[in-house]
Amino acid sequence: MNVARTVRLTFTAGAVESDTHVNLSAVRTDGEHLWIAGDETATVERLTCDDPGKPTEYREHVSFPLADVVDLPGEADEEVDVEGISRNGPFLWVVGSHSAKRRKIKSHHSDAKAAKRLASVSAEPSRRVLARIALSDDVPAERTPEGARSAGLGRGGLYALLADDDHLAPFLDIPGKDNGLDVEGIAVHGAPGEERVYLGLRGPVLRGWAVVLLLEPREEDGELELRKLNGHRYAKIFLDLDGLGIRDMCVHGDDLLLLAGPSMDLDGPVRVYRWPGAATLAAADVVHRGELHRELDLPHGEGDDHAEGIALLPSGELLVVYDSPAPHRLEEAGAVLADVVPL
């Protein structure tokens, strides 16, 4: 894989202070704007580029708290862990990881303290977010002058629906970094009011098979409700990504591009797969490996440079952002370098 060039993402001092620029987890291009999120905040970020045709820098950073426009399952300042962003019509869609969390251990911890922390798991209900954010002049709004309004998934959300799922229920209480439930990608296709939402799971990976959830949310009285697909409120699709989980997704025509990487806390491999015709797929049970194309392999570091988000540029190239960026991506204060790769 050849990196064609890099693009500079420049953030405000406040975002740098909260480490948003080194915890990037989701990205989506949108004309002159770039929507982006970090995995330790309850905000979405908007940057603006210098040249929409071939950007070299995104700057003019503005941060938007999600709690200003939609009800969240946690407190306004609790971490949502936004892991996926998609733009569709007048709406920005966001999804949280929905994952439980195990405490980290650090080098200065004693053996006893390390063992105690590894036994500590928190449910993290603030992460159980699936929301459609209305945009007015590229600014999140509760309601736009045209009548579009922001809404979140109600009735206990997706997590409650999965509590009885044959495949996924056993993984709900397992932390995402331990191959538990971990939503890390979202792609939306279709006209507003007729959308299909694809959620890519980093975990669980089931005997090598990754999982995609297919939903058809519709806004009712300020909340999102899920239409039934084949008698259920979601459909499951199983993909053979060579044992990898899904780290991000984006629409490319009627295809979906899938960023794939390890489900657990490992450095690589990291690949991009093409799923032909996925955006117009009828609700199905299994999609086999033969219907996927391995587009390219992405670089990864050792303990850094974890590819977390992909987005299409107007040039048809792919923009890739990284969590825990390597030092060479942080040459300037307040800025981080993303890669541009040809498809």
pLDDT for res 290:
55
Q: If you average pLDDT over residues 17-39, what whole number do you get?
A: 91
Helices (H) and strands (E) in the chain, counts: 3, 25
The answer to whether 246 and 185 are in contact (CB under 8 A) is yes
Residue 56 near residue 72, CB atoms below 8 Å? no
Residue 327: band (very low, low, confident or very high) from pLDDT cuts 50, 70, 90: very high
Q: How far is CA 294 from CA 33, 65, 242, 260, 273, in A?
A: 29, 36, 10, 10, 4
Q: What is the pLDDT of residue 187?
A: 96
- Mean pLDDT, the chain, rounded, equals 91
Tokens of 24: 């990037």
pLDDT-derived band of residue 232, with 50, 70 and 90 as boundaries?
Answer: confident
Q: How far apart are CA 106 and CA 114, in angstroms?
A: 8
| DSSP-based three-state secondary structure for 223 | strand
How large is the average pLDDT for residues 73-79?
Answer: 84
Q: What is the mean pLDDT of residues 52-80?
A: 91
Which is higher by pLDDT, 241 or 154?
A: 241
Question: What residue type is 218 in one-letter code?
Answer: R
Q: Quick one: pLDDT at residue 288?
A: 56
Q: Let me know the angle formed at the C-alpha of 296 by 292 and 299, rounded to the nearest 5 degrees.
A: 135
- Give pLDDT, residue 258: 97
Q: What would the pLDDT profile of 262-288 be if each residue is shown by its tens digit?
A: 998 888 899 999 999 998 887 665 665
Q: Which residue has the higher pLDDT, 119 or 285?
A: 119
Per-residue confidence (pLDDT) for residue 284, from 0 to 100: 61
> Average pLDDT of 78-92?
93
State pLDDT tens for residues 183-204: 999 999 998 888 999 999 999 9
pLDDT value at position 34?
96
Read off the pTM: 0.95
Contacts (Cβ under 8 Å, ≥6 apart) of 167: 204, 206, 211, 236
Model pLDDT, residue 287: 62
- Smallest CA-to-CA distance from 39 within 28, 27, 49 is with 27
Residues β-bridged to residue 191: none
High-pLDDT (> 90) share of the chain, %: 70
Q: What is the pLDDT of residue 289?
A: 54
Average pLDDT for 305-309: 92
Distance CA 162, CA 171 (A): 10
The secondary element (H helix, E strand) that includes residue 158 is: helix 157-161
Measure the N-to-C terminal CA separation of the chain; round to a whole number of Å. 9
Is pLDDT above 90 for 141?
yes
Distance, CA of 317 to CA of 300 (rounded, Å): 19
What mean pLDDT do residues 64-90 have? 91
Residue 261, pLDDT above cutoff 60: yes
For 242-251, write each residue's pLDDT tens digit: 999 999 999 9
Task: List, in order of start, the domains of the chain with CATH numbers.
Answer: 5-342 (2.115.10)
299 — pLDDT class (breaks 50, 70, 90): confident
